[in-house]
Amino acid sequence: MEESEKLINRIVDELGNKAIPKLISLLFDSDAKTAELAAEVLKNLESCEEVKSELNERIQNGEKSVGMFYAADLLADMNCKGSVSVLYRLLDMVEDEKEAIIVYSSLLKLGEKEAEKYLLYEFEEDPYMRKSIFDLAIALEPSDNPEVFKAILKKAREDEELVEVLQSMCNRHPAFFQLLPDDMKDRFRE
Protein backbone atom coordinates (compact mmCIF):
# COMPACT_ATOMS: atom_id res chain seq x y z
CA MET A 1 0.00 0.00 0.00
CA GLU A 2 1.33 3.40 -0.98
CA GLU A 3 1.99 6.08 1.62
CA SER A 4 -0.80 8.25 0.22
CA GLU A 5 -3.30 5.39 0.57
CA LYS A 6 -2.21 4.83 4.16
CA LEU A 7 -2.66 8.51 4.90
CA ILE A 8 -6.11 8.54 3.26
CA ASN A 9 -7.21 5.52 5.25
CA ARG A 10 -5.85 6.96 8.50
CA ILE A 11 -7.60 10.30 8.02
CA VAL A 12 -10.89 8.61 7.19
CA ASP A 13 -10.59 6.13 10.08
CA GLU A 14 -9.55 8.68 12.71
CA LEU A 15 -11.58 11.74 11.78
CA GLY A 16 -14.33 10.62 9.45
CA ASN A 17 -16.61 13.46 8.35
CA LYS A 18 -15.04 15.88 10.86
CA ALA A 19 -12.07 16.12 8.48
CA ILE A 20 -14.16 17.47 5.57
CA PRO A 21 -13.67 21.23 6.19
CA LYS A 22 -9.89 20.89 6.53
CA LEU A 23 -9.71 18.61 3.48
CA ILE A 24 -11.73 21.07 1.42
CA SER A 25 -9.30 23.79 2.42
CA LEU A 26 -6.41 21.55 1.32
CA LEU A 27 -8.21 20.77 -1.95
CA PHE A 28 -8.63 24.41 -2.91
CA ASP A 29 -5.62 26.09 -1.34
CA SER A 30 -2.72 23.67 -1.87
CA ASP A 31 -0.38 22.48 -4.58
CA ALA A 32 -1.52 19.91 -7.14
CA LYS A 33 -0.20 16.86 -5.27
CA THR A 34 -1.89 17.83 -2.01
CA ALA A 35 -5.11 18.75 -3.84
CA GLU A 36 -5.14 15.34 -5.51
CA LEU A 37 -4.69 13.57 -2.17
CA ALA A 38 -7.40 15.70 -0.57
CA ALA A 39 -9.75 14.87 -3.46
CA GLU A 40 -9.21 11.14 -2.91
CA VAL A 41 -10.03 11.45 0.79
CA LEU A 42 -13.07 13.62 0.11
CA LYS A 43 -14.31 11.03 -2.38
CA ASN A 44 -14.08 8.36 0.33
CA LEU A 45 -16.06 10.60 2.69
CA GLU A 46 -18.82 11.26 0.16
CA SER A 47 -18.54 15.01 0.58
CA CYS A 48 -20.41 15.96 -2.56
CA GLU A 49 -22.49 18.84 -1.20
CA GLU A 50 -19.60 20.42 0.70
CA VAL A 51 -17.26 20.33 -2.30
CA LYS A 52 -19.96 21.67 -4.64
CA SER A 53 -20.79 24.49 -2.25
CA GLU A 54 -17.13 25.53 -1.87
CA LEU A 55 -16.51 25.41 -5.61
CA ASN A 56 -19.61 27.48 -6.26
CA GLU A 57 -18.57 30.06 -3.65
CA ARG A 58 -15.07 30.37 -5.09
CA ILE A 59 -16.44 30.81 -8.61
CA GLN A 60 -18.78 33.55 -7.37
CA ASN A 61 -15.83 35.27 -5.64
CA GLY A 62 -13.69 35.04 -8.79
CA GLU A 63 -11.03 33.00 -6.98
CA LYS A 64 -9.08 30.50 -9.04
CA SER A 65 -6.85 27.63 -7.99
CA VAL A 66 -5.68 24.29 -9.30
CA GLY A 67 -7.94 22.67 -6.72
CA MET A 68 -11.01 23.92 -8.54
CA PHE A 69 -10.27 21.52 -11.37
CA TYR A 70 -9.69 18.63 -8.98
CA ALA A 71 -13.03 19.58 -7.44
CA ALA A 72 -14.71 19.50 -10.87
CA ASP A 73 -13.38 16.01 -11.51
CA LEU A 74 -14.34 14.92 -7.99
CA LEU A 75 -17.92 16.14 -8.38
CA ALA A 76 -18.25 14.14 -11.58
CA ASP A 77 -16.70 11.02 -10.04
CA MET A 78 -19.16 11.26 -7.14
CA ASN A 79 -22.03 11.91 -9.60
CA CYS A 80 -22.94 14.92 -7.50
CA LYS A 81 -26.41 16.15 -8.35
CA GLY A 82 -26.69 19.82 -9.20
CA SER A 83 -23.06 20.09 -10.29
CA VAL A 84 -23.66 20.70 -13.98
CA SER A 85 -24.58 24.36 -13.58
CA VAL A 86 -21.57 24.95 -11.32
CA LEU A 87 -19.26 23.32 -13.86
CA TYR A 88 -20.64 25.45 -16.70
CA ARG A 89 -19.84 28.53 -14.62
CA LEU A 90 -16.33 27.18 -14.02
CA LEU A 91 -15.87 27.12 -17.80
CA ASP A 92 -15.94 30.91 -17.73
CA MET A 93 -12.72 30.82 -15.65
CA VAL A 94 -10.84 28.43 -17.95
CA GLU A 95 -7.59 29.87 -19.28
CA ASP A 96 -6.07 26.97 -21.23
CA GLU A 97 -6.87 23.74 -23.05
CA LYS A 98 -5.98 21.46 -20.13
CA GLU A 99 -8.43 23.22 -17.85
CA ALA A 100 -11.13 23.07 -20.52
CA ILE A 101 -10.55 19.34 -21.03
CA ILE A 102 -10.96 18.69 -17.30
CA VAL A 103 -14.22 20.62 -17.03
CA TYR A 104 -15.72 19.19 -20.23
CA SER A 105 -14.66 15.70 -19.15
CA SER A 106 -16.45 16.23 -15.83
CA LEU A 107 -19.55 17.43 -17.66
CA LEU A 108 -19.45 14.35 -19.90
CA LYS A 109 -19.21 12.06 -16.85
CA LEU A 110 -22.36 13.78 -15.60
CA GLY A 111 -24.16 13.00 -18.87
CA GLU A 112 -23.81 16.29 -20.75
CA LYS A 113 -23.77 15.37 -24.45
CA GLU A 114 -22.75 18.92 -25.43
CA ALA A 115 -19.47 18.29 -23.61
CA GLU A 116 -18.97 15.16 -25.71
CA LYS A 117 -19.45 17.19 -28.90
CA TYR A 118 -16.84 19.74 -27.80
CA LEU A 119 -14.29 17.09 -26.80
CA LEU A 120 -14.85 15.09 -29.98
CA TYR A 121 -14.41 18.19 -32.13
CA GLU A 122 -11.16 19.03 -30.35
CA PHE A 123 -10.00 15.41 -30.68
CA GLU A 124 -10.76 15.12 -34.40
CA GLU A 125 -10.45 18.59 -35.84
CA ASP A 126 -8.36 21.04 -33.86
CA PRO A 127 -4.75 20.98 -35.11
CA TYR A 128 -3.62 22.90 -32.01
CA MET A 129 -4.78 20.06 -29.78
CA ARG A 130 -2.41 17.41 -31.15
CA LYS A 131 -0.24 17.63 -28.06
CA SER A 132 -3.32 16.94 -25.91
CA ILE A 133 -4.70 14.03 -27.93
CA PHE A 134 -4.25 11.47 -25.14
CA ASP A 135 -5.86 13.79 -22.58
CA LEU A 136 -8.80 14.29 -24.92
CA ALA A 137 -9.15 10.53 -25.43
CA ILE A 138 -9.15 9.99 -21.66
CA ALA A 139 -11.79 12.72 -21.33
CA LEU A 140 -13.92 10.93 -23.96
CA GLU A 141 -13.45 7.49 -22.38
CA PRO A 142 -16.77 7.56 -20.43
CA SER A 143 -18.72 8.00 -23.69
CA ASP A 144 -21.12 5.30 -24.80
CA ASN A 145 -21.22 6.74 -28.33
CA PRO A 146 -19.88 4.33 -31.01
CA GLU A 147 -18.81 7.32 -33.14
CA VAL A 148 -16.52 8.49 -30.34
CA PHE A 149 -15.06 5.00 -30.10
CA LYS A 150 -14.48 4.91 -33.87
CA ALA A 151 -12.76 8.31 -33.79
CA ILE A 152 -10.35 7.13 -31.09
CA LEU A 153 -9.82 3.86 -32.96
CA LYS A 154 -8.89 5.76 -36.11
CA LYS A 155 -6.22 7.77 -34.28
CA ALA A 156 -4.99 4.71 -32.35
CA ARG A 157 -3.42 3.46 -35.57
CA GLU A 158 -1.01 6.41 -35.37
CA ASP A 159 -0.78 6.70 -31.57
CA GLU A 160 -0.25 3.44 -29.67
CA GLU A 161 -1.00 5.17 -26.39
CA LEU A 162 -4.68 5.42 -27.34
CA VAL A 163 -5.09 1.63 -27.34
CA GLU A 164 -5.44 1.58 -23.57
CA VAL A 165 -8.33 4.05 -23.83
CA LEU A 166 -10.02 1.76 -26.36
CA GLN A 167 -9.53 -1.19 -24.06
CA SER A 168 -11.09 0.69 -21.17
CA MET A 169 -14.04 1.68 -23.36
CA CYS A 170 -14.51 -1.96 -24.40
CA ASN A 171 -14.47 -3.02 -20.76
CA ARG A 172 -17.14 -0.45 -19.97
CA HIS A 173 -19.20 -1.13 -23.13
CA PRO A 174 -18.55 -4.70 -24.37
CA ALA A 175 -20.44 -4.06 -27.63
CA PHE A 176 -17.55 -1.79 -28.72
CA PHE A 177 -15.31 -4.86 -28.94
CA GLN A 178 -17.10 -5.79 -32.17
CA LEU A 179 -16.00 -2.49 -33.73
CA LEU A 180 -12.32 -3.41 -33.39
CA PRO A 181 -10.32 -4.75 -36.33
CA ASP A 182 -9.30 -8.41 -35.92
CA ASP A 183 -5.66 -7.65 -35.15
CA MET A 184 -6.68 -5.44 -32.25
CA LYS A 185 -9.25 -7.93 -30.96
CA ASP A 186 -6.44 -10.47 -30.66
CA ARG A 187 -4.34 -8.00 -28.64
CA PHE A 188 -7.23 -7.32 -26.26
CA ARG A 189 -7.73 -11.04 -25.64
CA GLU A 190 -4.12 -11.56 -24.57
Q: Determine the pLDDT at residue 46.
A: 80
Domain boundaries, the chain: 1-93, 113-190
Residue type, 144: D
Q: Determine the pLDDT at residue 105.
A: 97
Q: Determine the pLDDT at residue 134.
A: 94
Convert the pLDDT of each residue in 61-88 to its tens digit. Answer: 999 999 999 999 999 999 999 999 999 9
HEC states along 134-185? HHHHHHHCCCCCHHHHHHHHHHHCCCHHHHHHHHHHHHHCHHHHHHCCHHHH
Q: Residue-wise over 72-99: b if at least 16 C-beta within 10 A, else e?
A: bbbbbebebeebbebbeebbeebeebeb
Q: Determine the pLDDT at residue 90.
A: 97
pLDDT under 50: residue ranges of the chain: none
Please measure the distance between the N-terminal and C-terminal CA atoms of the chain and give it in whole angstroms.
Answer: 27
d(CA 9, CA 19): 12
Q: Return the closest-CA partner of residue 188 out of 172, 160, 159, 166.
A: 166
Q: Determine the pLDDT at residue 77.
A: 95
Phi/psi at 182 (nearest 5 deg)? Answer: -55, -40
* Predicted TM-score (pTM) of this structure: 0.88
Convert the pLDDT of each residue in 83-103 to its tens digit. Answer: 999 999 999 999 999 999 999
Q: Determine the pLDDT at residue 1.
A: 55
Which helix (H) or strand (E) segment is 141 a member of? none
